[in-house]
Structure 1
Amino acid sequence: MKSYIYLLAMVFATPSVWAAECNMAFTHGVLIAPEHIRILQNNRTHVQISGDTQLFIRGEWINLSAEESLLLQQYSHGLRKFVPEIVSIAVDGVELGLSSIEAMFTGIGSKSQQAEWRELVRETTFQWMSRFVRTNEHFYLAPQSLKELDYFLHAELKPQLDNLARRTVGAVWGALRDALRHSDSNFERSDNQEWQSVGHLVDKINLGLDAKAVELEEKSALFCQRMQELDEIEQQLQQRLPALKPYDVVAEKD
């Protein structure tokens, strides 16, 4: 059983083959909302699609022909279908780890200790959530390639959640042990028992992350194809609307 678990760890420790073969990337931030899509650069909106058929470039409304409106609608629908799905895979992975960690210290320690642990969780996850945001019907994807998303799930998120779990849960057990030492039960827990508990939590988190990585891998070919199709539509729009050329949202990177 241990050798099987080790083999799984080796498989998921490195980026999957498909990611090395797909060079498609988002070169601008994309915000999907029910009423509009915004293309951002340095946190500023440069392009906005309203109602899937109205185009604004740097705040200026662009008059479109029937053919251009149809292309814009196809482009908008493609982004609306794809971006929320890819954001959700990443956010689900982050939330799975955080919910498991936070569940461990619920009801343990003082209010100040819990506030300290939650602040540590927030600080650690801020950089993740600035790259992938899901709030109700709003989705944000920061500029990145499919390779980078694959790396995030395989090689970046796991070790950071592992470290966060050991820091927070280790502190939780320390607080619990101190509290129990002063109780009538005079209970003590050995360091080995503590780290077994932390290790069990880490294993649980890793299994969940492996499932998200497998989900991404299973959809890899479809995701790459969708980005290539979006790139083709985008190129057609740019040929008709030269003002869009500086905002090449979907592109193939070397």
Structure 2
Amino acid sequence: MTSCLLLVSSSCFADFECDMDLQQGILVNDNQIRIVEDYRTLYQINGDNQLIVQGDWLMLNEQQNQLLAEFSHGIHYAMPKMVLLATEGVDIAISTVENVYLGLVGEDHTSYKRLSSALKRVKRKVGKKFIHTEDYYYIGPRSLENVDLLVDAKMEEEIEHAIKTSIGGILSAIAGLTSDGDAQTQQRMDNLSLRLETMGAEIERQVGPRAQTLRNKAKWFCGKMKRLDDVENQLRKSIPQLQPFDVIVTGHQVN
């Protein structure tokens, strides 16, 4: 029982930590990057060589243009992948939790319905932070912290709360095993143990390869964002108008 729940709570990104965050939102379409805060555009990059900061078009030197092009290419390449990575990661976490719990208590149990409802709320929250439409990708501020878990602290807390509020269903199932005669109780215990073992093997078969792929993608993304953070810092040092805006933060900068 405990091992099944630990399979869920440890997540496929155990042993991998990547401290990273966005302090402003980033909206990306095919030709433009916009850095936004409270629905206002702080600055935008058109193509890979035009920088507009708070409405002013800045003329850049050759070195600044090279840095801007590297930053623009990196954002265009990484942001869509991060949106897909986040949504796929949460899908795996949710389906794993549901499979474990569904196999124990069944879909008609009220505690499963509570858990399912909470997990759907988590998925909706992720959908609001990581947005993909036909025209653009968007990642909201404070969306990348704990990228190894692919959910922020509030979402993690909600999942934990859902499991705690639903754990009564599992305990009820176990308690029910002691209400019959010894032989029948032992048989039911054996059946439950077999179900747990089978369930664990099936989850590992379904989730394991996807989880490893996501782990590799997350590590790649972490390295990519650290490089972009370095490029952004070079831009901010070189272009005074960008100094107030520290969009990507990594390592000790993450609060």
TM-score over 0.5 (shorter chain): yes
Q: Secondary structure at the match of 2:148?
A: helix
1:129-208 paired onto structure 2 within 5 Å: 129-144=127-142, 146-153=144-151, 156=155, 160=159
- What per-residue deviation string (whole Å, max 9, x for no partner) do you get for residues 72-130 of structure 1? 1110001111111111011234567899x9xxxxxxxxxxxxxxxxx999866442212
Write out per-residue CA displacement over residues 123-143 of structure 1, whole angstroms, 9 at most, x where no aligned residue.
664422121111135211122
Pairwise CA distance, 1:229: 1.1
Consecutive unaligned residues in structure 2, runs of 5 or more: 99-116, 167-200
After superposition, the Cα gap between the structure-2 partners of 1:251 and 1:97, relative to the gap in structure 1 and judged at 3 Å, is closer
Aligned counterparts of 1:133 and 1:230: Cα–Cα separation in 2? 21
Is contact 2:20–2:146 with CA below 8 Å preserved after alignment? no
Paired position in structure 2 for 1:218: 216
Contact 1:23–1:145 (CA under 8 A) maintained in structure 2:
no
Superposed displacement of residue 40, structure 1: 1.2
Judging changes above 3 Å, is the alpha-carbon distance between structure 1 residues 208 and 87 closer, same or farther for their aligned structure 2 residues? farther
1:150-202 deviation digits (Å, cap 9, x = unpaired): 334598479759969xx9xxxxxxxxxxxxxxxxxxxxxxxxxxxxxxxxxxx
Q: How does 1:6-25 map to 2 (within 5 A)?
A: 6=4, 9=7, 12-13=10-11, 16-19=14-17, 22-25=18-21
The secondary structure found in structure 2 opposite 1:46 is strand
SS of 2:44's partner is strand
Alignment of 1:242 with 2:246, yes or no, is no
Letter in 1 for 2:139: L
Between the aligned partners of 2:152 and 2:231, the Cα distance in structure 1 is: 31
Secondary structure, counterpart of 1:73 in structure 2: helix
Separation (CA, whole Å) in 2 of partners of 1:161 and 1:208: 23
Contact 2:12 / 2:211 at 8 angstroms: preserved in 1? no
How far apart are the structure 2 equivalents of 1:87 and 1:49? 20
What is the correspondence of 1:17-36 to structure 2 with a 5 Å cutoff?
17-19=15-17, 22-36=18-32
Q: Indicate conservation of the 8 Å contact 2:34/2:45, yes or no.
A: yes
Tell me if 1:58 matches 2:58.
no
Partners of 1:78 and 1:48 lie apart in 2 by 15
Tell me: CA distance 1:204–1:32, structure 2 relative to 1, closer, same or farther (3 Å).
farther
Partner residue, 1:84: 80
Describe the SS at the equivalent of 1:144. Answer: coil
1:46-92 per-position Cα deviation (integer Å, ceiling 9, x unaligned): 11011121111112111112221121111000111111111101123
Residues 14, 154 of structure 1: 8 Å contact kept: no
- Distance in 2, matches of 1:137 and 1:239, equals 32
Q: Is the 8 A contact 1:154 1:213 kept in 2?
A: no
Q: 1:70 to 1:14 in 2, by over 3 A?
A: closer
- Alpha-carbon shift at residue 205 of structure 1 (Å): 9.2
Q: Which amino acid aligns with 2:71?
A: Y
- How far apart, in 2, do the equivalents of 1:68 and 1:12 lie? 43
8 Å Cα contact 1:158/1:206 also seen in 2: no
Alignment partners' CA distance in 2, 1:12 and 1:154: 15
Residue among 44, 62, 65 paired with 2:40: 44
Structure 2 SS opposite 1:246: coil
Contact 1:133 1:141 in 2 (8 A): yes
Q: 1:227 aligns with which of 220, 225, 228?
A: 225
Segments of structure 1 that go 5 or more residues without pairing to the other structure are 102-118, 168-202
- Contact 1:52/1:77 (8 A) holds in 2: yes
Query: 1:107-126 to 2 correspondence within 5 Å?
Result: 125-126=123-124
Percent identity between matched residues is 29
Q: Deviations over 1:219-242 (max 9, x none)?
A: 343222212211121122112101
Q: CA RMSD in A?
A: 4.7
